[in-house]
Structure 1
Amino acid sequence: MTDAVHPAGAGPLPTASALAAGFADGSADPVAAAERSLAAVAAHDPAVNAMTQVFAEEALEAARVSADRWASGRPLSPVDGVPVTVKDLFLTRGRPTLRGSTLVDPAGPWDEDAPAVARLQESGAVVLGKTTTPEFAWKGVTDSVLAGSTGNPWGAHLTAGGSSGGSAAAVGLGMGAWSIGTDGGGSVRIPAAFTGTVAIKPTFGLVPIHPPSPYGTLSHAGPMTRTVRDAALLLDVLTGFDARDWFALPRPTGSFLDGLDDGVAGLRVAFSPTLAGTGVNDPEVEAAVRAAVEVLAGLGAEVEEVDPEVGEVRDAFETLWFTGAGKVVEPYGADALDRIDPLLAEHVRRHAGDTASDYLGAVDIRMRLGATMGRFHERYDLLLTPTMPIAAFARDRDAPAGWPEDLWTSWTPYTYPFNLTGQPALSVPCGFTGAGLPVGLQVVGARHADRLVLRAGHAYEAATDWSARTPSVLGP
């Protein structure tokens, strides 16, 4: 697709890459970009409820300062001035981080930026505000007692997914060019698939996290964007060692843009329409994903349909997830479970009796899965799956109508296994259902193969036009 800079007020907000290029050559202006993003918030947020806080005055002032830096030839980085939003799970100095919960005291103190937010500030990016999350980011849709529910750019009556649903909706509707989210079991990829946007869960440790997530090494932070190129560009900003995160990897050498245009010819690619015997529930989703796989094969990838045989890992994931969730609410007092999302409380109580042996048994399953996928990627460079087995369903629900259970892990079988393994996994738009709802293709690579994952996603995106489609909330 072409990254064209539209004149102010015309068409969707340009991509971050287009804005950065425009700032550099003088054809775009950080102040106009911030104004346009804030106008999108005013126009669309009443319908979708993606924002919890909007920093309008601070953002406009930061954009003016950025414009001055560009005018004097002293930008802080290539993305100086690009407007961004931040999931309300990341610490932001001087602003409350409420994590979607009434348990958190808004008084703070709020005297520290999370590593990802600090990198954005250092780059000169203009932070517009913070986006919605379910309580403590615990589930695959975005609603909370604190902030209400978040709708989808392709229909405000539909869920945007979660837990980074606010970020996905904001990106899809031009409330900033990109956002940062967290992913503990699919939380950037689920909403990306539901909203027709792009998101990558990078290799664990690549984007440092502080304070440590109570969900432990399941939790990743990553870019949420409109294009794969933007995701690579944002990864360049977010990655790098931070002493506060003892899992943080060293800063990568080179850029994630390096080799992005090298294509997929000769890559050994596995396509698995099921994982652990779990199949796609929506035939339109399966058809779109299979068509996407054919596109990559037509670009020269050597594709084979094969199941990586990940085994049954849902119970192990839930043991790790809900014992972590129990630790989240523990500091808030004996009655905390009576004051949170009732479904979260139900599952925390269900796992309250898990023993150390139960936890270590889940860790053992996780380690065996990691070895399985490590061996798998000795044979295959990439694994393709649907991101989601279904399209977006009704807002204010925990699962689709008529689904056999409400728990989010029952309808996200393709995402959480790769939080267990820490592998990079990208969701890229690959089509629409007959009802006009987006479908996502998931591209998974071996640990540390983030550039290869981005390269394949970009090759597919460049050969199609799905990422250029305008959400229905924006009109034709």
Structure 2
Amino acid sequence: MSDLHDLSAHALMAAYRQRQLSPVEVTQAVLSHIARWEPHLQATYLLRPEAALAQARASEARWLRGAPLSALDGVPGTIKENIATEGDPTPLGTAALAPAPAAAADAPPAARMRAAGAVIVAKTTMPDYGMLSSGLSSLHPLTRNPWNLAKGPGGSSAGGGAAAAAGYGPLHIGTDIGGSLRLPAGWCGIFSLKPSLGRIPIDPPYTGRAAGPMTRSVADAAALMQLLSQPDARDSMSLPAQDIAWSQFDQGAERLRGLRIGLLLDAGCGLAPEPEVTAAVEHAARLMQTAGAIIETMPPFMTQAMLDGMDQFWRMRTHTDLQALPAGRRDKVLPYIRAWADSVAGISGVELFNASQQFHLTRVHTVRACSAYDYVISPVAPMPAFDAELPSPTNDPLHAMEHIGFTVPFNMSEQPAASINCGYTRSGLPIGLQIIGARFDDLGVLQLAHAFESIREPQRAWPRPPGA
């Protein structure tokens, strides 16, 4: 048997049912593994071993009585810092909000995990306000990438990506408003699904914002989708209850046969993909074609004006938030984010209105471009993981969003989009493939991702703690 911390959720569910393992011994193994990794990764916030073990003991008792709360009872997992958990502060990765008040209630994803009996081992780190694709934060120590500690894990679900790749248990939940699930998934070599908007309720809701699974496999993501995709009135965009057969994610490579798949290699804006990224995505397309898919190269549909407009609007939102803080607290925010946000201090109302319209234009162009295909594939990011100390790939607050041209359109179009590893650079860094489906076709995206998972080359061993 694999090391306990490496076991999938599906393997743990089977072992618990057959009383081959207990949640206590699994949680102890995960906590010991985290203790070896965490001085190097710094991926966790509110890591409380005794609280995790108390949850595990309660789960063990339920399994012994034959009364688990769900199939995932006792399976360890983590939750991103910005997903509220009752009684805990939610500082959003920034020292400017510390000490943050305790949350009055669990946000929907945390409530679903707790009701299912999953063991919440820790919360995971994020950068200030979730507005960076890196592990840099004014509140937390720098979060690093387990594949190469000199590199960052991506963000804003930084700790979740690092934790999943490092083996901090099988289940992790992050959020995404422009790529914050998929970017760390791609750079950490794991799987993630940004579901259709409203499929997993989130509180507070915001245009384009989605919660989603971060796991080592499609199978474990499907198990989390089964748990998390229940309506919640706190999310004004929550989708109605729907009986989705999440367990039918495994359709095999046959699922690819006859599908018309668009291959998007030019985002139309931002940074161009590096050659190793393009080569890996093209190789993935050839594998799908060999399995019977019809691959067609897509022309770009985004424009730089769309990307710049969304960026400008987000700058103003953050600028407004920062201006509401007392000066002493505002000064604690990362200088990069302050420079990014304050760059729009002098724009006019007309300029801000025009910027706001780019969200809708992006939505319209994205849906129109994708409607010609069953699915679309693309790079997740134009480059592999970048230096850990940098806030963004460009390290330039005036060009902070140049790496999200492939991911952000699908937040605005509300379409499900997944990241799955499709290769490695010469230096051994993972490369992410994005798989996009039509709105509401979350199960189809999981099925296509699992089909690719079954035909891609064998994956490299997961990274181990230094000295292990």
Residue of structure 2 aligned with 1:435, choices 427, 430, 434: 427
Q: Which residue of 2 aligns with 1:229?
A: 219
**Deviation of 1:422 (Å):** 1.9
Counterpart residue number, 1:348: 341
In structure 1, what is the Cα distance between the partners aligned to 2:434 and 2:280?
12
Confirm whether residue 113 of structure 1 aligns to residue 103 of structure 2.
Answer: no
Mapped to 2, the partners of 1:433 and 1:444 lie a distance apart of 23
CA distance in 2, matches of 1:91, 1:273: 37
**Which residue in the other structure is 2:55 paired with?**
62
Structure 2: distance between partners of 1:16 and 1:432: 25
Inter-partner Cα distance in structure 1 for 2:413 and 2:167: 33
CA RMSD of aligned residues (A): 2.1
**Aligned mate of 2:27, from 25, 34, 56:** 34
Query: CA 1:155–1:362 in 2, change beyond 3 Å: closer, same or farther?
Result: same
Q: Could you tell me which residue of structure 1 aligns to residue 440 of structure 2?
A: 448
CA displacement at 1:175 relative to structure 2:
1.1
Provide the rounded CA distance (Å) in 2 between the counterparts of 1:416 and 1:297.
26
Cα deviations by residue, 1:197-254 (Å, 9 ceiling, x for unpaired): 1111111111111134xxx303211111101111111111111211111111123312
Q: Relative to structure 1, is the Cα distance of residues 28 and 298 closer, same or farther in structure 2, using a 3 angstrom cutoff?
A: farther
Does the Cα contact within 8 Å between 1:13 and 1:177 map onto a contact in 2? yes
- Identify the residue that residue 194 of structure 1 maps to in structure 2: 187
Counterpart selection for 2:2 from 2, 6, 25: 6
Question: Comparing 58-67 with 305-314, which one deviates more in the overlay?
Answer: 305-314
1:253 aligns with 2:243: yes
Structure 1 match to 2:149 = 156
- The answer for the alignment partner of 2:282 in structure 1 is 290
- Say which of 200, 207, 219 aligns to 2:209: 219
2:178 pairs, out of 166, 169, 185, with 185
What percentage of residue pairs aligned between the two structures are identical? 34
Would the aligned equivalents of 1:273 and 1:279 in 2 still touch at CA under 8 Å? no
Q: Which stretch of the first structure deviates more once superposed, 180-189 or 320-329? A: 320-329
**Match for 2:342: what amino acid?**
R
For the pair 1:339 / 2:339, whether they are aligned, the reply is no
Partner of 2:45: 52
Contact 1:398 1:406 in 2 (8 A): no
Per the alignment, residue 267 of structure 1 pairs with 259
Q: Is the 8 A contact 2:273 2:381 kept in 1?
A: no
Specify whether residues 413 and 277 from structure 1 end up closer, same or farther in structure 2 by C-alpha distance, changes over 3 A only: closer
Q: Is the 8 A contact 1:317 1:416 kept in 2?
A: no
Partner of 1:394: 387
Matched-pair contact (CA < 8 Å) for 1:93–1:113: yes
Structure 2 distance, partners of 1:396, 1:255, is 42
The CA deviation at 1:29 is 2.1
| Distance of 1:224 and 1:342 partners within structure 2 | 29
| 1:74-113 map, 5 Å | 74-106=67-99, 108-113=101-106
Residues 37-93 of structure 1: CA deviation (Å, up to 9, x unaligned) = 111110001001101221211111111111121222211111111101111111111
Residues 196 and 467 in structure 1, CA contact (< 8 A), matched pair in contact too:
no
Residue 229 of structure 2: aligned partner: 239
Shift of 1:161: 0.9
Unaligned runs of 5+ in 2: none
The CA deviation at 1:112 is: 1.2
Given that 2:135 and 2:152 are in contact with CA atoms closer than 8 Å, whether structure 1 keeps it comes out as yes
How many Å apart are 1:148 and its aligned residue?
A: 2.1
Question: Could you say if the C-alpha distance between residues 7 and 442 of structure 1 is closer, same or farther in structure 2, counting changes exceeding 3 Å?
Answer: closer
Aligned twin of 2:298 = 306
User: Hey, what's the Cα distance between the residues in 2 that align with 1:206 and 1:356?
Assistant: 34
More divergent stretch after superposition (461-470 vs 129-138): 461-470
Shift of 1:387: 0.6
Separation of aligned partners in 1, 2:392 and 2:87: 36
Give how far 1:337 is off: 3.5
2:45 is paired with a residue of what secondary structure?
strand
Which 10-residue stretch deviates more, 347-356 or 422-431?
Answer: 347-356
Residues 393 and 279 of structure 1, relative CA distance in 2, 3 Å threshold: closer
Q: Is the 8 A contact 2:271 2:402 kept in 1?
A: no
Q: Which residue among 102, 117, 129 is the counterpart of 2:122?
A: 129
Provide the C-alpha distance between the structure 2 equivalents of 1:357 and 1:25, rounded to a whole number of angstroms. Answer: 64
Residues 7 and 372 (structure 1), Cα distance of their counterparts in 2 relative to 1, 3 Å cut: closer
Retained in 1: the 8 A contact 2:79–2:173?
yes
Counterparts of 1:381 and 1:361 in 2: how far apart (Å)? 32
1:270, 1:384 within 8 Å by CA — same for their partners in 2? yes
- The worse-fitting range, judged by mean Cα deviation, of 117-126 and 353-362 is 353-362
Per the alignment, in what secondary structure is the counterpart of residue 6 of structure 2? Answer: coil
Summarize the alignment of residues 462-473 of structure 1 with structure 2, pairs less than 5 Å apart: 462-465=454-457, 467=459, 469-471=461-463, 473=465
Partners of 2:368 and 2:337 lie apart in 1 by 35
Shift of 1:335: 5.0
Per-residue CA deviations over 1:316-358 (Å, capped at 9, x if unaligned) read: 2112322222343344235543221111111211223445543
The SS at the match of 1:41 is helix
**Aligned residues of 1:373 and 1:446 also touching (Cα < 8 A):** no
Counterpart residue number, 1:21: 14
For 1:426, the aligned partner's letter is: A
- TM-fit CA distance, 1:473: 4.1
Contact 1:330–1:336 at 8 Å: present in 2 too? no
1:73 pairs with one of 66, 77, 98: 66
- TM-score normalized by structure 2? 0.93
Spell out, residue by residue over 1:254-273, the C-alpha distance to the aligned partner (whole angstroms, 9 max, x if none).
Answer: 23232432522111100011
- Pick which of 301-310 and 38-47 moved more: 301-310
**Tell me, what secondary structure is at the counterpart of 1:270?**
strand
Aligned partner of 1:315 in structure 2 is: 308
Q: 1:459: Cα distance to partner?
A: 0.6
Q: Distance in 2 between matches of 1:412 and 1:300?
A: 30
Change in CA separation of 1:414 and 1:29 when aligned onto 2, cut-off 3 Å: same
Q: Following TM superposition, by how much is the alpha carbon of 1:309 offset from its aligned partner in structure 2, in angstroms?
A: 1.7
